[in-house]
Amino acid sequence: MEDAYVRSVSEVLDFFGVDSTKGLSDSQVLQHARLYGKNVLPEEERASFWKLVFKQFDDLLVKILIAAALVSFVLALINGETGLAAFLEPSVILLILAANAAVGVITETNAEKALEELRAYQADIATVLRNGCFSILPATELVPGDIVEVSVGSKIPADMRMIEMLTDQLRVDQAILTGESCSVEKDLESTKATNAVYQDKTNILFSGTVVVAGRARAVVVGVGASTAMGSIRDSMLRTDDEVTPLKKKLDEFGTFLAKVIAGICILVWIVNIGHFRDPSHGGFLRGAIHYFKIAVALAVAAIPEGLPAVVTTCLALGTKRMARLNAIVRSLPSVETLGCTTVICSDKTGTLTTNMMSVAKICVVNSVQNGPAIAEFGVTGTTYAPEGFIFDSTGIQLEFPAQLPCLLHIAMCSALCNESLLQYNPDNGNYEKIGESTEVALRVLAEKVGLPGFDSMPSALNMLSKHERASYCNHYWENQFKKVSVLEFSRDRKMMSVLCSHKQTDIMFSKGAPESIIARCRNILCNSDGSTVPLTATLRAELESRFNSFAGKETLRCLALALKIMPMGQQTLSIDDEKDLTFIGLVGMLDPPREEVRNAILSCMTAGIRVIVVTGDNKSTAESVCRKIGAFDHLVDYVGHSYTAAEFEELPAMQQTVALQRMALFTRVEPSHKRMLVEALQNQNEVVAMTGDGVNDAPALKKADIGIAMGSGTAVAKSASDMVLADDNFATIVAAVAEGRAIYNNTKQFIRYMISSNIGEVVCIFVAAVLGIPDTLAPVQLLWVNLVTDGLPATAIGFNRQDSDVMKAKPRKVGEAVVTGWLFFRYLVIGAYVGLATVAGFIWWFVYSETGPRLPYAELMNFDTCSTRETTYPCSIFEDRHPSTVSMTVLVVVEMFNALNNLSENQSLLVIPPWSNLWLVASIILTMLLHILILYVPPLSILFSVTPLSWDEWTVILYLSFPVIIIDEVLKFFSRNSNGIRFNFRFRRFDGLPKKELRDK
């Protein structure tokens, strides 16, 4: 029944055919169970394990690599190779792909946990009226039409319409669903609001929320998927995971690279058609297979096999650094997404605020004779921890607050006229509440005021254990005063009173709405001397003015406290007793902002990141918080910047677009609005981060480019998020964004390093094929260079230092290419030199080396006809392992020098020296040691078709390799000056990536 909130109680009962005094009959229960289904959130059908595995291989580059591995294996068999030589190359490729697939499967499996944990918020049992009798049943057996009784501490088992109040009031904590910081008072009246949000449905009890005060009966109107929790589940199921900007760019780059590779491979094969019939191949078909094998080797050289592994490793290193900042990353790619975040949609309650009501102001009457009549005190401390101080209006801390009469009696009243509990939970190290958050705030205030008569008491309290300290002062007052009678809060009186007995004196303490308490007061307690004097009209007006200031301008939730000396021996209280009271004081409380948030908001603005505060709270309260945290500092007025969900939905489409670009506050929202906001911002090309902690935040967290959950939040929110803030601190997001930007910069550096290296390998093979000289590198040698020699330095580049101005730059555009036109040109030049140097090393050994054959260059070009003509050298010289060893070593060493070029995109090595990243230096040393190992250890040298080199050969290798640093220094110089910009314009249209489906700003 979707519209139960607008129906009367009798209409709802008639709809389900139920008698409120008897409940459903057994036959009705069976009928309704068939009609409406079970009260459980249905499990979503999961993708099979093998479907997830195959999904990881649905990538063009991966498919090309698999094809290359299979072709390599088939060609090895055709050539008669057996054993390790035939299986090595395809096995290594397949192992890499299997490792990447495993990471992907694990990530996707974790994503399904959010839906499972949503079920944890369903109640286990319910007190149900059936066949005229109450019984306790599993909540899963509830059906629409069931009459359920709920009381303090009950978890609501289904969506229910209130039908009967059994106490004066019923209050429910709906924070996990709506984000409201205060509990909500429920009633029986039908809702008149059109387009009512959850907060407006005051006659509905929502599944998963908790009763904090009162007792009532309600009729079930929605079960399972038809509840508010069910709609959140459906919203999460409809939300597809967003592809991160880096993943999108890498996918696009992979598609582009695959097309280029295919084109080059076909080109190499076609260029050599004339050589298919060369006698050295033994026939046209064998010649075609030989050059096809070269084309496969080219594919292996061009595809950066180690790129996924290196990207994953770099992101993992970033997550470790972020974990030290209390930002726990659940999804590796989201680390990089932080770097281009343009909008942070932040939940207010529990994220920007502590989600713990706290007394911030106290107002008492000081004296009616001397000085100002009204005195105000400030209270520090923003959590339920009994830690904080009280300051007078001049900012001086009170050493012993309990020595002041009004503060002492405020502490008494706060402790005694109270139904809540405050306790310390050693498992999570936090102070926790049971009951109304406003009442717990009063208990904490009593602890901060302390006890009278002991000058050393403040220091003595600090010596207690946290468990004892939680309610030590409250327990003191409860032991001093015996509670005799309680007059509960009611909506018409708007106050609560308790009768206490203490040393032959009976006192009634009262608390409630200031307008109700002040109207019932005849006297006031003076803070200066503890005297009681009549409450004059002037003082009454002054108190009401302070109350209006607290509630209006400062948007504090206010309570007034009072007392009355009662006749001895009275055992009960009546409404008639609540008159002729003595006013003690006025307290103003709020859900206080976190202290660090203001600076964090400022950092976001400096970094070009817009913050939109999103909350289920009312507009005035939220605007007050925004003023306190600085979210409105840049605004002259709030018109056009602050909207309720209803106001926003009423705007025409064009005005909604404009509003989204200016919005700083979005109030009275429910889960669907948060998800809508994220989608709308994404449609405007924004990269959206959404923070939250409640169940209600989960769909938006999942939909956002990066979902950020609070460590103290619900398990559902954490599972739907990409990142969890262990300290619940909004300021941690700013540090995480800086880290994300640094990680992206380093990611770009090692991607460019690997691209330039692979371009070098492609140039090497292509030039050798065009020149008609023997194969410079064997496929297994290329694989070694791609995996080991490229991989280690590329990973170490991830440790490059963070730029000092990383948070002063604007967010990068989502469509910004990983390799732009000018940079592609730069790395094309570097890659060309790497390839030419590798070929030069190969030719040098044949033509100029003293240990080589010193062949004329023409002989080298005609090596394939050696067996058909007379020569002064044996044809076996072309099978010598020295030339390929020299070329392979040139390739390794030149890439080590190229790694040093990538310490910075544009800064010279003279400015950022190699030792600024010791990890890179260590990786270069380790790589060279591994390379020397395969050169000089016989089993490995045979496996990789290499041989030991002499010192003269090493000298030539260094001469051929070092110029790559000089070339890149020249290119960096152009990048730092106007020439680089001119080149950038020339190559702007080509960034190495397709343009479709980009959300480019």
Evaluate if residue 596 carries a pLDDT over 60: yes
Q: Establish whether 347 is a catalytic residue.
A: yes
**What is the per-residue pLDDT for 75?**
67
**What is the per-residue pLDDT for 792?**
78
Domains of the chain, by residue range, sit at 248-318+737-978, 328-353+594-727, 358-589
Q: What average pLDDT does the segment 606-612 reach?
A: 88
**CA–CA gap between residue 6 and residue 348 (Å, rounded):** 29
Mean pLDDT of the chain: 80
**What is the per-residue pLDDT for 118?**
41
Evaluate if residue 825 carries a pLDDT over 60: yes
**What is the per-residue pLDDT for 220?**
94
pLDDT band at 326 (very low <50, low <70, confident <90, very high): confident
Evaluate if residue 957 carries a pLDDT over 90: yes
We find that the CATH architecture of domain 248-318+737-978 is Up-down Bundle (1.20)
What string of DSSP letters covers 452-486?
SS-TTHHHHHHTS-HHHHTTHHHHHHHHHSEEEEE
**What is the per-residue pLDDT for 285?**
75
pLDDT in tens, 404-459: 999 999 999 999 999 888 988 887 788 888 778 889 999 999 999 999 876 556 67
SS3 of 830-893: the string is HHHHHHHHHHHHHHHHHHCCCCCCCCCHHHHHCHHHHHHCCCCCCHHHHHCCHHHHHHHHHHHH
CATH classification for the domain delimited by 358-589, as one of 3.40.50.720, 3.40.50.300, 3.40.1280.10, 3.40.1110.10: 3.40.1110.10
Q: Which of 18-27, 338-347, 769-778 has the highest mean pLDDT?
A: 18-27
Question: Which strands form 147-151's sheet, in the order they lie side by side?
Answer: 133-138, 125-130, 147-151, 215-222, 159-165, 204-205
Evaluate if residue 638 carries a pLDDT over 80: no
Question: Which strands form 327-329's sheet, in the order they lie side by side?
Answer: 327-329, 723-725, 706-710, 688-692, 343-347, 610-614, 665-667, 642-644
**CA–CA gap between residue 880 and residue 895 (Å, rounded):** 24
CATH number of 328-353+594-727: 3.40.50.1000
**What is the per-residue pLDDT for 116?**
46
Q: What percent of the chain has pLDDT over 70?
A: 81
pTM over 0.85: no
Task: Kindly state the greatest CA–CA separation across the chain.
Answer: 132
pLDDT: is 335 or 497 the higher one? 497
**CA–CA gap between residue 11 and residue 760 (Å, rounded):** 79
pLDDT in tens, 651-676: 998 999 999 999 999 988 877 788 88
pLDDT band at 111 (very low <50, low <70, confident <90, very high): very low
SS3 377: strand
pLDDT in tens, 21-30: 899 999 999 9
Mean pLDDT lowest among 870-874, 944-948, 961-965: 870-874
SS3 277: coil
- Marked catalytic residue, from 173, 278, 347, 968: 347
Evaluate if residue 123 carries a pLDDT over 60: no
Mean pLDDT lowest among 482-496, 713-727, 914-928, 977-991: 977-991
**What is the per-residue pLDDT for 365?**
93
DSSP 307: H
Q: Which two tokens stand for residue 960?
A: 């051929």
Evaluate if residue 982 carries a pLDDT over 90: no
pLDDT: is 139 or 798 the higher one? 139
pLDDT: is 593 or 521 the higher one? 521
Q: What average pLDDT does the segment 592-598 reach?
A: 82
**What is the per-residue pLDDT for 944?**
77
